Structure 1
Amino acid sequence: MIEIDPISLLVTADTDLSVATLEDKVAAEGYTLNYFALPDNRALLAEALSRRLPNLYAAAFGGIEDLCLQLKLAQAGGALYANVKTPRSAAGPGLKKMAIGSGEWLGLPIQATLRIFPKPAHRECRAYAFAQERDLEAFEKSLLKLRWPLPLRARLASEEAMQVLEGMSLLDRAAAFSWWGPESWMRSYGEALEDLALGKQGRALGFKSGRDETDLDALLRRAAIAQAEERSERRLQELPESHRALASFLKEGA
């Protein structure tokens, strides 16, 4: 069951849905959860709530305990509990936040009401590779010092993308970032990020606009292909001249 309230910007859903499925459902109506349950967003909503799975976008939107407005729990004796969808009127610990992350100790989450946000019209993802791991760390520290609300760390989405990075020996020296907002400042934001990365010995692996971080898979594959072609050309130039023409002919034929 999924009910979207476009006035209050809330969605109520049963917790047997995966977070990714719920995101797709609200995205079809022009909204987003701004919640990506690490590591792969495939967890059921019940698991995300009971384990308090971290949010990739927590720096800007908080965790699941902040985005969940109401939680319905089924307790061992069969009783149901649900907090009200209004601001708290008393001090002290809130049962909803105590239940989220309790490992079902206070009850099994069976339904949740989450905040939703209008889906941004413009969004970009960009990935960078750095000469050394310490350069990546310096870049991330510089971002923290600037206190930009964005960009947010984006996930290099699939296992295939991670294999590409491993093949490029970049697994510990690459990072991806995502940001969104009005088109008027998207470009200047990207240029500022690029300048900061270059100042820390970083190089862009390319970029691709899109709704989610899975778009980075194609980007990384293209980067790997370009690097392989560059390596092949370099080896070709190292061959004796008598062998170079034959190698070029075979390469073109392939």
Structure 2
Amino acid sequence: MSAPIDDGAVRYRVAGGVAHLTFDRPAARNALTFAMYDALADALARIEADPAIRVAVLRGAGGKAFVAGTDIEQFVGFTGADGVAYEARIEGYVAGLERCRVPTVAVIEGWAVGGGLAIANACDLRIAEAGARFGVPIARTLGNCLSPANLRRLTATLGQGLVTRMMLLAEMPTAETLAPLGYLAAVVETGRLDAEVAAMCERLLGHAPVTMRVTRAMLRRLERDSAAEATDLISECYGSDDFAEGVAAFLAKRPAAWTGT
């Protein structure tokens, strides 16, 4: 009789305006169960409801992996219809992360594989430890596929040529390989990761929340349609309290006191 699946957890804490989400299942390299996917959605809802949160950081527990995909035991007995339903379900989680109200930072140690890569890729910024590896080696392992939405996201950030190689050749490029592509905000040596994350959060906390929010929304629209309109977002930004405060602060030669409104 096989042992029951450890459902794992997504730990949630807030400190200094930063929400920290930790995928906690290190014995399985933080491979996600459906309970963990649901916990991710719950954490995103908590961020949405808390205006004091300005940044979200996503990280894997244990220091060996960000997320090593979806737990494979959950695929036993899958049919084609189950696969369609699964990909739709995963799309809901990833799209929810993509729509997060605040800038998101993925912190990658070790492996970001399959669903883990999809989650890291949906974040706005990525910081990786040297030697971290990224990929979706399913042509060599499971024999399943990605949804068009997740392939679109990957090609938007990595380019179709590299994504084709990663998918067909099951390549797992390192952080050092991806850094020159602009995919990673930083690659740091072991022992320096926490300091780099703290410094990036501090920078983000000091920037105008409305500017960052509408810019992220515009980038998502442009990814889908290069001629997308955004008059609503432009109006929101220029009509915000933050814009008025930014102008006043600049003219008074003082730091702006952003409110996110």
Both structures adopt the same fold (TM-score exceeding 0.5): no
Please say which structure displays the higher CA radius of gyration: 1
Which protein, 1 or 2, shows the higher relative CO under an 8 Å CA cutoff with sep ≥ 6?
1
TM-score, normalization: structure 1?
A: 0.27
Which structure features the higher share of helix residues?
2
